[in-house]
């Protein structure tokens, strides 16, 4: 059984490498620096007196609906549909002269993806906004967190503009999806390779 499993994995790795779009990770325009730690990626950019970091994790970033529909209709010779990774991402804006960080928790709404026709529609939404003490890794539950569900639209628009002024806009979000998808695929191939060595190990 293990031999067949290892053989299956070898073929699968070959296939996945064939359809791999990016041999190296795509760049995000606008002077963002990328740091990757396993499945977590961080983009950092410094502009006049501020540091902006965007963090996301590729785990569980592929919407589930994409996989269920395709199983039945797929003909054997068809290419598998392309999976897109749309991770939640957290934007932190740190101003040099304050001890606080403005933290915005952003999401790609599942039903919005792929409706390109709409004018001026944002492809991501801000879900929560809070202040966190700069330099602390853990979010404090005692800090007020603003949930945008019941938020005044004008305030919400200003928050979106605030992000856009710092380079976090639709173009950025598109490039983030591209980067995340490439990263997810790279990690998936690595996982298959690790699994193969694990199965073959006597």
Strand order, beta sheet including 33-37: 33-37, 40-47, 50-57, 89-95, 100-107, 125-133, 145-147
Residue 199: which of 1, 32, 41 has the closest Cα? 1
Rg (the chain; Cα; Å): 20
- Is 201:5 a contact under the CB 8 Å cutoff? no
**Whole-number Cα distances in Å, 44 to 51, 97, 130, 134, 158:** 7, 18, 19, 15, 22
pLDDT value of position 23: 82
pLDDT value of position 117: 46
Above pLDDT 90, what percent of the chain?
A: 61
Distance CA 170, CA 116 (A): 12
Q: Tell me: the pLDDT tens digits for 17-41?
A: 999 888 889 999 999 999 999 999 9
What tokens does 182 get? 């490439």
Distance CA 23, CA 195 (A): 21
The residue that leads in pLDDT, 142 or 139, is: 142
pLDDT value of position 191: 95
Strands 50-57 and 100-107: unpaired
Distance CA 122, CA 124 (A): 5
Domain ranges, ordered by start, for the chain: 1-58+82-108+120-201
Residues 128, 132, 138, 142, CA torsion sign = negative
Domain 1-58+82-108+120-201 architecture? Roll (3.10)
- For residue 71, is pLDDT > 50? no
Residue 99 binned pLDDT confidence (cut-offs 50, 70, 90): confident
Residue 132 binned pLDDT confidence (cut-offs 50, 70, 90): confident
This prediction has a pTM of 0.84
pLDDT value of position 81: 62
């Amino acid at each position: 059984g293990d031999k067949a499993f290892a053989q299956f994995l070898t073929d699968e790795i070959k296939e996945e490498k064939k359809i791999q779009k990016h041999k190296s990770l795509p760049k995000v325009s606008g002077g963002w620096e990328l740091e990757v730690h396993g499945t977590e990626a961080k983009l950092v950019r410094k502009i006049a007196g501020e540091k902006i970091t965007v963090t996301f994790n590729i785990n569980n970033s592929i919407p589930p609906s994409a996989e269920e529909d395709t199983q039945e209709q797929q003909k054997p010779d068809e290419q598998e549909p392309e999976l897109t990774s749309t991770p939640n991402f957290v934007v932190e804006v740190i101003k040099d002269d304050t001890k606080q960080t403005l933290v915005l928790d952003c999401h790609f709404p599942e039903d919005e993806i792929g409706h390109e026709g709409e004018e001026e529609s944002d492809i991501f939404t801000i879900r929560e906004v809070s202040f966190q003490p700069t330099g602390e890794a853990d979010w404090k539950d005692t800090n007020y967190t603003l949930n945008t569900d019941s938020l005044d639209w004008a305030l919400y628009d200003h928050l979106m503009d605030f992000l856009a002024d710092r380079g976090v806009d639709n173009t950025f979000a598109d490039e983030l999806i591209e980067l995340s998808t490439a990263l997810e695929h790279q990690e998936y191939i690595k996982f298959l390779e690790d699994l193969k060595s694990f199965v073959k190990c006597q």
